[in-house]
Structure 1
């Protein structure tokens, strides 16, 4: 599989230009804010979401100035949600570095998240990017609803397959869907094409989250630490499938371990072993690949171009990555 840098190569110049514009879009006249946004920028992630915006635009007609604004809008709002998530989760690390709330405390972190959110909104309004603003605003609404749905269900350990898919569709897939829709909209695509690209992104987002959830059960020796979701009492797809594949007594015992012994390393390893031996990981992977196939079926309705092949490689990266 190509590396992310190899996949990015056809749009490398555009991504470099985007990063400069994105950095400028976070600037403030308040020195403290500038220090914090500089800290955030220096610890940016893989830039996969802007890549989805740019490749979607190329597939749907071509990259424009509007595409750059769409990528910046998505990244500003995504960064704002990450800052707020770390406060909600009381997380002190993000991508191996101290989180904003760990260094500057919760109050400042919440305000920084609000600032980034407002910057994204102003970027759209100033350039009359109302179509993109509507797309991304809907995604932010869904992300909030998904997070609250998960909190509500997690308290009662009341998460079945249908609820799980609704949570990840809203929490994760809606943002990747908005990336693809913004890319299409920025290229001047019709509402029908924008919706088609949004649905493509949604299916990729669901596959992406299933892959993430598989890492927690030791799909590989790298990636996020094993058992984090179990410690947080999150019932994800591998566990849901494993519980469906066992008898009632074993299901009750496993649910009791998740509810009441989720801090015990030995019990966590017992849950992980249970998921592996009952086929939970294999079933989750099969479902993930099913969503990938559905996404490719949509993508294949677009002209056969280099941009389409690049977007296909980016999709494969999301499902074949090792961390």
Structure 2
């Protein structure tokens, strides 16, 4: 199993510098805001997005100050969407800690998210990083559109495979694509290279989300089936494939369980068993590995070096991680 700490070795110094710059980019003159942003920074994730930015920049040219601004821009806008998502989902926990809205209520959380968006735009405009701002703003638009498309389809429970892929392309893959495109743009790459890196990130992002969806049909830390997506009435690829394998009557029965009995642990377990019996897991895994291979093929257009190796390892990590 690959470890992120091993993968990031070629850019460890860059990531350390980035952390300081990212903290600085969130500073304000309001003590309450500073307390909240300090809380957010202390509970940062795996730093995968900055890693994609730095590796993509190194592969496309040279890591420089613009690369650090690009990584900060991506993190600021991504963090803003997470803060807003927790309000929309009424979620009280993020990465094992209380969410901003749980500690400071929805009104303040929305304003903090708006502040982070403004900080990201301000950072780019001050330094004339218009190309990177355009790339990341487009990703934020796609994330919002993907969320709304998923909400619309979830009401009717009619998500087919093409719609599923469009939702995850917008919701998840667009952000990783913007990381890779920003990295290339910050290094002064031409449009063809930027677009190639964007497509690479999109393939990785789709594989990453399929892996997440597969986790939901597994077992949690205390040995219980998960099924959180089923509880939230989300239709993901393993379930979509399983539903296509059965008669309409059985399909209606399973959809009814998800619609009306998603809070019942036994019914959720029944849906999980149905997906496994109809090879939904195997089908989704094969799709995930196909996107992984497409990402690898894009990297063959670049010279072999430590940055390409880092990206290849990140691609493997997306499909081999255990959480």
| TM bracket (short chain) | over 0.9
Structure 1 runs of 4+ with >6 Å offset: 222-225
Question: What residue in structure 2 maps to residue 107 of structure 1?
Answer: 107
The one-character-per-residue Cα deviations of 1:294-321 (angstroms, maximum 9, x if unpaired) are 1111011111112101110011001110
Does residue 1:155 correspond to 2:155, yes or no? yes
Does residue 1:175 correspond to 2:175, yes or no? yes
Question: What residue in structure 1 maps to residue 116 of structure 2?
Answer: 116
**How far apart are residue 284 of structure 1 and its match?**
0.2
Written as runs of structure 1 = structure 2, the 5 A alignment for 1:105-254 is 105-218=105-218, 226-254=226-254
**How far apart are residue 249 of structure 1 and its match?**
2.0
Structure 2 unaligned segments of length 5 or more: list them.
none
Q: Distance in 2 between matches of 1:191 and 1:319?
A: 29
Structure 1 unaligned segments of length 5 or more: list them.
none
Q: Is the 8 A contact 2:219 2:226 kept in 1?
A: no
Q: Is the 8 A contact 1:215 1:223 kept in 2?
A: no
Q: Distance in 1 between matches of 2:82 and 2:223?
A: 18
> Which segment drifts farther, 88-97 or 155-164?
155-164
Q: Distance in 2 between matches of 1:313 and 1:62?
A: 20
Q: Is the 8 A contact 1:26 1:37 kept in 2?
A: yes
**How far apart are residue 248 of structure 1 and its match?**
2.1
Q: Distance in 2 between matches of 1:222 and 1:125?
A: 48
**How far apart are residue 198 of structure 1 and its match?**
0.1
The one-character-per-residue Cα deviations of 1:104-128 (angstroms, maximum 9, x if unpaired) are 0000000000000000000000000
Q: Distance in 2 between matches of 1:173 and 1:224?
A: 29
**How far apart are residue 158 of structure 1 and its match?**
1.7
Q: Is the 8 A contact 1:220 1:322 kept in 2?
A: no
**How far apart are residue 243 of structure 1 and its match?**
0.7
Structure 1 pair 224/101, CA: closer, same or farther in 2 (3 Å)?
farther
The one-character-per-residue Cα deviations of 1:22-81 (angstroms, maximum 9, x if unpaired) are 011001100000000000000000000000000000110121110000000000000000
Aligned Cα RMSD in Å?
A: 1.4
Structure 1 pair 277/264, CA: closer, same or farther in 2 (3 Å)?
same
